[in-house]
Amino acid sequence: MKSQLDDLRDRLSDQVLDATTLPEIHAAQQALRAWIKEHPEDEGMRDGFEQLSLMQDIAEQEEAEGARSESLTAGRAA
């Protein structure tokens, strides 16, 4: 039987894995920091920081490409 702590850990893990936008990533980073502060012995959750770092790089690149595309589109419309 799963404990309440296991359920919270599972939800945090899902939040980390599902984060794809910058606001979602930042929220997951904050939640993960709080978890690690409360559960420093939980080494497995530290891997979430690497996942979030990779997703942040992708999200920032997509955001920059989107801004560049909008700029080009606006320039053509003018």
The string of pLDDT tens digits covering residues 10-57 is 999 999 999 999 999 999 999 999 999 999 999 999 999 999 999 999
Which pTM value belongs to this model?
Answer: 0.81
Whether residue 73 has pLDDT greater than 80: no
| Higher-confidence position of 57 and 2 | 57
Q: What gap in Å lies between CA 68 and CA 42, rounded to an integer?
A: 41
Q: What gap in Å lies between CA 12 and CA 74, rounded to an integer?
A: 40
Work out the burial of residue 16: count CB atoms within 10 Å of its CB; fewer than 13 is exposed, 13-18 middle, 19 or more buried.
buried
Q: CB under 8 Å to 23, separation ≥6 — which residues?
A: none
The pLDDT assigned to 78 comes to 57
The pLDDT assigned to 1 comes to 79
Q: What gap in Å lies between CA 56 and CA 24, rounded to an integer?
A: 10
Q: CB under 8 Å to 59, separation ≥6 — which residues?
A: 20, 21, 22, 25
